[in-house]
Amino acid sequence: MTVPVDDSSKDAGDIAMALPVQLTELILSSSRFCQLRVTSQWLLETVKSYVVKHIPIGEDNWRVMTSPGSSLLNGRQFATVVNVMEIASDFYSLLEMCTWLMDHTIDKTLLTYVVNVAKKHHMVWASMSVQTKFAQDILAKVSMERKKANMEFTNLVSCF
């Protein structure tokens, strides 16, 4: 029997789809202009457009309740995009994608991956003078999630 590949956060480094050697060589042999154009304009914009569309709930979409504008990326897709951006050394787009994803997902696995990416690239982001701002964004997200959890707990307790 075939078992799906586990997307748990314990193996975040190994979860990315392995890029073919030819694709890696193509990225590395391209000019810097082409690398950045692909990652910052095409890939980043594609990630940002891969969201839940605002459509009315009907017979075919009532089972999965998600907010319009929420990211549809799963952990494997995110890790693969990170891999491509790392090969191209496009750390600005990587930062922008991580910041955007924090605002557009509640998936704890994805948020764990975002924190792992921040840990991996903290020296680069520190040299870009954005590490403090990113840390503040992470803390704001954690604080917001805690408030939501407290409100849900309070609502649950008030039912009794």
pLDDT greater than 90 at residue 44: yes
Helices and strands (H and E) in the chain: how many: 8, 0
What DSSP designation does 10 have?
Answer: G
**Is pLDDT above 90 for 83?**
yes
CA angle 145–150–153, rounded 5-degree value: 125
Give the per-residue pLDDT at 72: 87
What band does 147 get if pLDDT is binned at 50, 70 and 90? confident
How much is the CA Rg of the chain, to the nearest whole Å?
18
Q: What is the pLDDT of residue 4?
A: 47
78 forms beta bridges with none
DSSP letter at 91 equals H
Q: What is the pLDDT of residues 11-33, one digit of tens each?
A: 545 566 788 899 999 999 999 99
E runs forming strands in the chain: none
SS3 of 25, please? helix
**Per-residue pLDDT tens digits for 104-141:** 988 888 989 999 999 999 999 999 999 999 999 999 98
Provide, rounded to the nearest whole percent, the portion of the chain with pLDDT above 90: 49
Q: Answer whether residue 155 shows pLDDT above 70.
A: no
Question: How far is it, in rounded angstroms, from Cα 113 to Cα 129?
Answer: 21
pLDDT > 80? residue 3 = no
- Percent of the chain predicted with pLDDT > 70: 77
What is the distance between the alpha carbons of residues 16 and 37, in angstroms, rounded to a whole number?
Answer: 22
Please compute the mean of the pLDDT values over residues 49-60 and round it to a whole number. 74
Alpha carbon distance 81, 43 (integer Å): 8
Query: pTM for the complete prediction?
Result: 0.78
Between 133 and 60, residue with greater pLDDT:
133
